[in-house]
Amino acid sequence: MAEQNWSRGTSRRTVLKTTAASIAGLSGVGSSLVSLGRGAEGSDPQPVTDLEPAPAPNLYIGSNLKKFNWLVLLGNERESMADALTGYVEEATVDRKQKRAARESLKDIWSTIEVTSETKAWEEIRKQQEKRKREREDDRWQTHSGGRRRKQERENGPKHEKEGKTTYYALESDKSAVKRTLKGAESRVRKSKGVRTTSVSEEDAATLSELSDVIGSGMKDDDTGETEEVEPMWHPDSTHEKITEIAVNSGAKPGSLDNVTASDIGEWSKIPDNEERMDYDPAPEIFPDDIFPEEKAQAYAHAWNPDPVGLQAVTGPVGGGPKYTQKFMKNAEDNSGEDRFKQLAFAMHIIEDLANPLHTGAWFTETAWHRSIHRTYEKKVDSRFDELFKEDLEDIENLEVVTDPWYVLSKYDYHARKLGSDTHPYASEVAVAVHENSHPLEHVGDKTKQCMEWAEMYAAGLAAELTGYT
């Protein structure tokens, strides 16, 4: 078998020439791509190229802080976040008593719980995090399997030498004091609502569930004035369809589509957001119910978080995205005609979702609030897709080749995880940008563009693999 070449044709990737610069007002760090190809012997993936490092995230939330509702806690150190949250409370659709309680709760939290920030090289932060993660995993495996070490995916996975500086936020206050303060704050909002309850649970305090509801009710969509609906995806109206069509055109072998067209496949790639037409397994208990209560199974199937802080001690990565990518691609391989390409379209949808950082991180156990973040971001992306992203995606000449992992995972599963691990570091920054700015893409436009490019290239990789275009 010929050596697989991730870069089809002779011209090297030039797609990023317009990155950032084409988004007005962006102080863009150039974006880029790192790809893994397959070595000649077909075993260990080797980095084929590293043209430019991916942009470093501007903001990173430390794991101690992430155990709590860090968006709220951030207001202690970050004035723009404090202003934003105060504003949402003012806009909240609750009575004056509840608003006052929410305001006072925020004040208590910000005056009592200390958060620190430090700006340093992303590479340094990343190394620290991996070290901590290793230590945690060592603990876990010592407890559960007699000290045996599990091979770590991340160690062998894609590595980016990310440049640039990142602001790292950490919790400074003592954890038990934090819990006490949050319980007090949460119980104040409860009382203002007339909820009579004996005590606030640890989890309600950590996530600030009642306070979050008040904030969420004030976080309306700018464009429409609507509050949230459940749409935990890239905006389903057209983002998927457009990316898929572009990716099919670039990835599928010419003449391999039988009687279907790229636009059929684009159209079919919207179906996975219609739960009634799909058959997802129920999400595991551990996946928080209240994130997407109506569509829990679907939300789980379209997501994957490599490091869900607070849960990982028992579960490891959370989300069904990689599993479903594998499943739909296997179905595609086993089918012919329309069914073959419908299944491909489903797999492409899932991969595209995993390119959205909000599908690979930044999960909170809140209701309206969480969905507002998600929906707002996806609407913004969708509404400016043609203007900011379309041409760039159409210019991409390379794709991300599906490679065989050398350990237990199946190849499409692995493909999905590689992508999820890459988009995960941007999750906090996207969530913060959506809160603090009515035009978040002016702040996370370059990162979003990077993610869009990954979406296209990983999706094109699936089309290429299925049609033998490698």
Per-residue contact string for residues 193-232; x = within reach of Zn ion by CB under 5 A: ----------------------------------------
Choose the stretch contacting Zn ion; rule: CB under 5 A; options: 2-10, 20-28, 301-309, 452-460.
301-309
Task: Report the residue from 210, 245, 295, 353 that binds Zn ion according to the rule CB under 5 A.
Answer: 353
For 69-81, letters b (16+ CB in 10 Å) and e give bbbbbbbbbbeeb
The residue number whose beta carbon is nearest to Zn ion equals 233
Q: Which stretch binds Zn ion (CB under 5 A): 14-22, 48-56, 295-303, 305-313?
A: 295-303
Q: Based on CB atoms, which residue is closest to Zn ion, 126 or 270? A: 270
Applying CB under 5 A, does 345 fall inside the site for Zn ion?
A: no
> By rule CB under 5 A, what count of residues binds Zn ion?
4
Q: Please report how close the Cβ of residue 303 comes to Zn ion at its closest, in angstroms.
A: 9
Distance, in Å, from the CA atom of 296 to the CA atom of 301, rounded to the nearest integer, reads: 9
Instruction: Select 85 or 455, whichever has its Cβ closest to Zn ion.
Output: 455
Residue found under tokens 């990789």: 461
**Could you tell me the smallest distance in angstroms from the CB atom of residue 466 to Zn ion?**
20
What is the SS3 assignment for 55? strand
Give the C-alpha separation, 48 to 36, whole Å: 6
Residue span binding Zn ion (CB under 5 A) among the ranges 124-132, 272-280, 401-409, 448-456: 272-280
Among 190, 302, 443, 447, binds Zn ion (CB under 5 A): 302
Q: How far is the CB of 452 from Zn ion (least distance, A)?
A: 15
Instruction: Please report the beta strands in 66-141, taking only residues with DSSP state E, as ranges in sequence order.
Output: 115-121
- Does position 233 interact with Zn ion (CB under 5 A)? The reply is yes
**Which pairs with CB-CB distance under 8 Å and at least 24 residues apart come from 121-124?**
121/56, 121/163, 121/164, 121/165, 121/166, 122/56, 122/57, 122/60, 122/162, 122/163, 122/164, 122/165, 122/166, 123/161, 123/162, 123/163
- Name the residue among 381, 352, 353, 361 with its Cα closest to residue 448: 381
Query: In angstroms, what is the minimal distance from the CB of 304 to Zn ion?
Result: 12
Question: Which of residues 233 and 433 has its CB atom nearest to Zn ion in the complex?
Answer: 233
Torsion of the alpha carbons at 71, 72, 76 and 80, rounded to the nearest 10: 60
Smallest gap from Cβ 232 to Zn ion, in A, equals 7
Residue 240 beta carbon to Zn ion: minimum distance, rounded to whole angstroms:
7
Q: Are strands 34-38 and 115-121 parallel, antiparallel or unpaired?
A: unpaired
Q: Which is nearer to Zn ion, 75 or 288 (CB)?
A: 288
Residue 281 and residue 359 in contact, taking contact as beta carbons nearer than 8 Å: no
SS3 percent helix, strand, coil of the chain, rounded to 5, is: 55, 5, 40
State the residues that interact with Zn ion by CB under 5 A.
233, 273, 302, 353
